[in-house]
Structure 1
Amino acid sequence: MNPIDRRTLIAGTVASAALAGPALGQTTMTGPFPLPAGFERFPIWPGQAPGGETVHVQEVETLRRPDSRPDDGVFAHVVTPTLTLLRPAKPNGAAILLIPGGGYSRVAIGHEGYNVARRFAAAGYVCFALLYRLPGDGWAAGPDAPLQDAQRALRLVRALGGRERFDANRVGVMGFSAGGHLAAWLTSRAPEESYRPVDSADREPINAAVAAYLYPVIQMEGPFVHQGSRAQLLGADPTVEQMRAYSLDQHVSADTPPVFLAHAIDDPAVPVENSLVMLAALRARKIPVECHLFEDGGHGFGLVAPPAAPAPWPELFLDFAKRHGL
């Protein structure tokens, strides 16, 4: 066997392993905090993530707050993007890809990943929480590195439908805060190939049945920008063209799936106007959309327990999702 053939064979073997995911009951890729019971984690790329030749950061997981539980962790400097899987006790034949937030400087995998996955697994959905790379860590794709991971993750989730016993055409995408920006980027813009295909999963379309953006970052220009997310994504002094290119209300595709929006009016970090402009853009494109604006709740409410929770948004989302076939 010549060297080229040997490399091809090795790459194909590694890719097949990534597509297969962990064996039933196997837990891989755990960090300093153990995965909560019932969850499994596996990398989304066979081998290293693309464009990392000059990346020298060290991946780290810490607690979201000093008083957080061990499963309320956040990741920074993500080197190995992963999906963390939770299977439902009573499957309904559908799945949800969860994209936690963190201002594009970290990923709140516990608060908006594990915690939310438990809620929707209880409703019958196979849940996948995405740990994605961050744009400020030197990846060759720069601001598009998170999109590469999101596109790859959605394709991989669809490809796993047969193994996990859900319909690949019944996959929802839900994102929070900056993860809401990434979810909207993934689902509301016309898909553009952001990386070279690596295995058979990349033959899957970048399609979702339903999308949900919770207190999302949408705009990168104007008075309602979340400055931290923009700085991480585009740098300290982006051009007008860059800001417009990454303002998602400017690029809604006619092929966007039905969208669920939820935001607290008193959000001090990401102004509610981000959801309002997205609502207007979706309506202009005649995309089915439902928007819930809560009087209070602040930013990042996730699944905060009552009385701090602004409203039972998961139940509102479930009603919306079922009406649209998810």
Structure 2
Amino acid sequence: MTPPRLPRRALLALGAGALAAPAVARAQTPPPAAPTPFEVRPLWPGAAPGGEAVTVQEQVVLRNPNGDPNDTAFVHVRDPWIMLRRPARPNGAAVLMIPGGGYQRVAVSKAGGDIDARLAEMGYTVFVMDYRLPGDGWAAGPAVALQDAQRAIRTVRSRAAELGFDPNRVAVAGFSAGGHVAGMLATRFAQDAYTPVDAIDRLPTRPDFAGLMFPVVTLTQPYAHGPSARALIGSDPTDAARDAWSIERHVPADMPPTFIASAADDRVVPVENSLMLWQALRAQNLASELHVFEKGGHGLTDPGQAGPPAWENLFDAFVQRVRSP
């Protein structure tokens, strides 16, 4: 903080009966400002790929018209970005957070939020990403958010040496429809979703850990989240399209260790989404951990529970305990 301006000096007595003169205050150099915990950068070095037919205009709206002015959502995303929150005491790992929004908007703020703040307090170097949406005319269609997620995790790894974390200890944490994006990132890393544009794109896209919180997983009936399914593959999709974009149907043998957390009383995304993915992981004997809370709804926030959501410490313990192959 800039120090207060010094008051004008008192008159200096030069001797008995001498004239007095004001002293000149010396200019002071303010102390260097502490580095800001936030930094927002564009995700792509130029225009995002495949936007030749995109005509929509990006908007930023309040999620609640009378709520917190920092509680925003991005609609018709054209210029996705990635935000960095630096920890005070780095623990050597990083987390890429992917927020939700039903594939119709991205519920994210450039001012950060409670979850990324708490993960930074645990020592994680935290990145939060914005991403493009499938209904806006991008050439990649349903894969457009995966393009941004692959670019984002490569961007995270490109900064490991600069920021002091291990590029082989990078987790992805996805929430709701962002859990579907994170799930695609954790299952489809063997195929590039876009043509490389620079040196960053030589880096791997496989997360070392995946955390999926109250995630959209399946697009099959009867447990598909209707709004996400319609935004991703249309209002009357074929069974083949539903299968192609259902995470639990495409689990590779080298999927990263996966942490899943949901609430039994989630009325938005049925908890069966989490159960189906865990069963698919278990069938291949892959490292995984599933937590189903009695209460918490869509968001895992239990009004009767004091302190941060329980899943945060459980996820931290999972990342610290499990070693990615």
For the aligned pair, the TM-score class normalised by the smaller chain equals: 0.7 to 0.9
Give the equivalent residue in structure 2 for 1:19: none
Equivalent in the alignment of 1:144: 143
Alignment-mate amino acid for residue 316 of structure 1 = L
Q: Which residue of 2 aligns with 1:107?
A: 106
After superposition, residues 23-38 of structure 1 pair within 5 angstroms as 38=37
Give the counterpart letter for 1:249 in structure 2: E
Q: Aligned partners of 1:270 and 1:111: how far apart in 2? A: 26
Q: Aligned equivalents of 2:128 and 2:64: distance in 1? A: 20
Query: Which residue of 2 is the match for residue 207 of structure 1?
Result: 206
Task: Encode CA deviations 1:165-186: one digit per residue, 9 max, x unaligned.
Answer: 1111110000000000010110
Distance 1:68 1:172, change over 3 A: same
Aligned partner of 1:152: which letter? R
Q: Structure 1 112/147 Cα, relative in aligned 2: closer, same or farther at 3 Å? A: farther
Report the counterpart of residue 240 of structure 1 in structure 2: 239
CA contact (8 A) 2:93 2:166 kept: yes
Letter in 1 for 2:76: H
| Pairing of 1:126-141 with structure 2 (within 5 A) | 126-141=125-140
Give the whole-Å Cα distance in 2 for the aligned partners of 1:232 and 1:112.
27
* Identical aligned residues as a percent: 49
Q: How far apart are 1:75 and its partner, in Å?
A: 0.8
- 2:62 alignment partner in structure 1: 63
1:270-306 C-alpha deviation (Å, 9 max, x unpaired): 00000000000011111111111011111123x6775
Partner Cα separation in structure 2 for residue 120 and residue 310 of structure 1: 11
Which one-letter code corresponds to 1:319 in the other structure? A
Distance 1:102 1:235 in 2: 16
- In 2: Cα distance, 1:111 partner to 1:213 partner: 22
Find the residue that maps to 1:175 and give its secondary structure.
strand
Unaligned runs of 5+ in 1: 1-23, 27-36
Structure 1 residue aligned with 2:305: 307
Give the equivalent residue in structure 2 for 1:73: 72
State the distance in 2 between where 1:317 and 1:225 align: 25
Query: Could you tell me how far apart the structure 2 residues matched to 1:73 and 1:131 are?
Result: 12
TM-score of the superposition, structure 1-length normalised?
Answer: 0.85
Identify the residue that residue 15 of structure 1 maps to in structure 2. none
Q: In structure 1, what is the Cα distance between the partners aligned to 2:111 and 2:274? A: 18
Name the CA distance, whole Å, in 1 between partners of 2:120 and 2:159: 16
Partner of 1:192: 191
Structure 2: 5+ residue stretches without partners: 1-32
What SS does the aligned partner of 1:149 have? helix
- Name the SS for the 1:316 alignment partner: helix
Instruction: Go from structure 1 to structure 2 and tell me whether the alpha carbon gap of 1:310 and 1:116 turns closer, same or farther (over 3 Å shift).
Output: closer
Kept after mapping to 1: 8 A contact 2:251/2:280: yes
Aligned to 1:171: 170
* 1:324 counterpart residue number: 322
Conservation of the 8 A alpha-carbon contact between 1:93 and 1:165: yes
Deviation at residue 310 of structure 1 after TM alignment: 9.3
Letter in structure 2 aligned against 1:324: V
Q: Give the 3-state SS of the residue equivalent to 2:236 in structure 1.
A: coil
